[in-house]
Structure 1
Amino acid sequence: MNSTSPAQGGGPAADPRPVFERAARQMASLFEAVRPAQLADPTPCPGFDVGALLSHVVGGTLRIAQVGEGGGPGEVDPDAEVDSGVSGVADDAWPAAYERARERFRAAWADDAKLDAVVTVPWGTMPGRFALAGSVMEVVTHAWDLAQALGRRAELDAGLAEFALAVAERAVPAETRGGEVPFGPPVPAPEGADAYDELAAWLGRSWTPAGSAGGSHG
């Protein structure tokens, strides 16, 4: 994958929509790689097996789409609740469900004026461009979760992690963890860490090949 940092040429929040699309393409490739037999496998995201994580990602994409459409984060579709994700998706239909969510996102945020419109998302009230940057961080982090669970870590786009890490370091400072902030304290990054490892460590995640997970959900 292209390893050029998408943060170059305008800063992390200049227009996050192309970066979100790039992150979503990466996520879509991981969705395509999941087999039904893997849905119960653990991930580094505590409390989320592979199937629950797919559901959460689809639900989160629908949530930010609805924000772009003018609805608040608590006004999400009945089948796309914020925390539990979506329901009623067949085991082999997750890629199609994610593509539908992505299409809705693109339509919802197509108007450039929405980048400066003030919106409310679960992590605060802010201009749309900053809400979208936070959504990129979430998608990229969950791509790391899913790639680790599937053994596809080497396929991840390094530039996306650099973008997400820059957002995370500003949006999720170490001293604000706990309570309403759904991340644990930062953990040490492994020796030789790349941007994905640093992102995961900053957000309190740890993972071993044996399948034990640590950290906090986000």
Structure 2
Amino acid sequence: MTFDKTVVVPLDLDQTFALITQPERLRRWQTVAARVDLRAGGEYRWTVTPGHHATGSFTEIEPGRRLAFTWGWEQNKDMAASDSVVTLTLEPVDGGTSVRLTHAGLAEQQEAGHAEGWNHYLDRLVAAATAGDAGADPWAAAPDPINELTAADTTLAVLQRVLRSVTPAGLETQTPCADYNAGQLLDHVAGSISGIGQALGVQVSDDATKAPEARIADLAQPVLEAFYRRGLEGTVDMGFAELPATMVASILNLEFLVHAWDFSKALGTDLTVADALTDYVEVLAQQTISEQVRAGGSFAPARQVAETAGSLERLVAFTGRAVHAGA
């Protein structure tokens, strides 16, 4: 079975090729996170939606013209990376570039699901090419099934979307965290991700000169990839203590989602998060933030909220933040 569809985007060949190959551009329409080694035989790993990771290797690369790669799902043993091949062919047309995508080698039972997926993402490719960003992907709003790692994929997506709007001037803006402006909070989040990565044995390199979204994305992708390889069993040596792996993953969720709220408040931007996600992260917070942790100064005392408070408001209030000005 082969899926075959062509769309036209309002970009030239080189711009279109960048949109389908560069991690920072892929995050605008197709992926939550992406690792790309763009050379013949080079491997890629894309977090397409939380908990669903496409993997394979590039077989053909003709910049601005053609890209082919094997396709499989990391968590699906029935569909290995070499079982099917995706080919994208670019041609100049009036008003832009035609992008023909074929996905060959699909079993009959795989074709319908992959057709639905490619139709969804090709629509988002056109939207990203037209507007610069396709917007939040509804398929990535809440993971199913949900656990500490699939939730971390999702909360990372939330944080990245907020960080895309951070300008150099915005880094000087005060956040709800009294000790941090936006730039200092960004350093804190980067340091937390780096520390967890080092505990997992990941060689991390933090480049503070990158744009905020790219900086956090480039740190978080290898850390979460390593966490998926490791799994949630046992403990992780954090240097200061041996912590359950589930707790370390919970810390990532809190870093991503709670600080996404901090950044959104500092910048005056809207933050929309699925209740299923915030409900789950609230449970993780309750399991992670003990009175002993609060006493150490990492979190202020929990705040009271109205019975009518939304899920996200309850979560941030539990972490000690004033949900409303003057609260």
Regarding TM over 0.5, the answer is yes
Residue 57 of structure 2 corresponds to none
Indicate yes or no: 2:138 matched with 1:20. no
Looking at secondary structure, tell me which structure has more helix per residue.
1
**Which AA in structure 2 matches 1:179?**
A
Structure 1 segments unaligned to the other structure (5+ residues): 71-75, 80-85
| Offset at residue 49 of structure 1 (A) | 0.6
Contact 2:199–2:239 (8 Å) recurs in 1: no
Q: Which residue does 2:311 correspond to in 1? A: 195
SS in 2 for 1:167: helix
1:119 and 2:230 aligned:
no
TM-score normalised over the length of structure 2:
0.51
State how far apart, in whole Å, the 2-side matches of 1:63 and 1:103 are.
14
AA paired with 1:60?
A: S
Q: Report which stretch shifted further, 101-110 or 175-184.
A: 175-184
- CA offsets 1:115-165 (integer angstroms, 9 cap, x no match): 213113378533312320232123211111111112223433433321211
Q: Which amino acid aligns with 2:188?
A: H
Quote the residue 1:163 is aligned against. 280
Residue 181 of structure 1 deviates from its aligned partner by: 4.8
Counterpart of 2:195 in 1: which secondary structure? helix
The residue aligned with 2:248 is 131
Question: Is the contact between residue 142 and residue 274 of structure 2 (CA under 8 Å) also seen in structure 1?
Answer: no
The alignment partner of 2:242 has SS state of strand
TM-score when normalising by structure 1: 0.73
> Aligned-pair RMSD on alpha carbons?
3.0
Instruction: State the identity as a percent.
Output: 22
Hey, what's the Cα distance between the residues in 1 that align with 2:322 and 2:240? 23
Structure with bigger gyration radius: 2
Q: Judging changes above 3 Å, is the alpha-carbon distance between structure 1 residues 190 and 167 closer, same or farther for their aligned structure 2 residues? A: same
More strand by share: 2
Q: Are 1:205 and 2:321 an aligned pair?
A: yes
Distance 1:130 1:137, change over 3 A: same
1:178 and 1:144, CA in 2 relative to 1: closer, same or farther beyond 3 A? same
* 1:34 aligns to 2:166 (yes or no): yes
Name the structure 2 match of 1:61: 193
Contact 1:44 1:207 in 2 (8 A): no
Go from structure 1 to structure 2 and tell me whether the alpha carbon gap of 1:96 and 1:5 turns closer, same or farther (over 3 Å shift).
closer
Q: Is 1:89–2:185 an aligned residue pair?
A: no
Partner of 2:299: 183
Q: What are structure 2's unaligned runs of at least 5 residues?
A: 1-135
The structural deviation recorded for 1:201 is: 1.2
Query: What secondary structure sits across from 1:59 in the alignment?
Result: helix
In the TM superposition, residue 66 of structure 1 has moved relative to its aligned partner by 1.7
Aligned counterpart, 1:73: none
Deviation at 1:104, TM superposition (A): 2.0
User: Aligned pair in 2 of structure 1 residues 134, 202: CA closer, same or farther (>3 Å)?
Assistant: same
Shift in CA distance, 55/177, structure 1 to aligned 2, threshold 3 Å: closer
Q: Is the Cα contact below 8 Å between 1:5 and 1:163 reproduced in 2?
A: no
Cα 1:137–1:178 shift into 2, 3 Å: closer
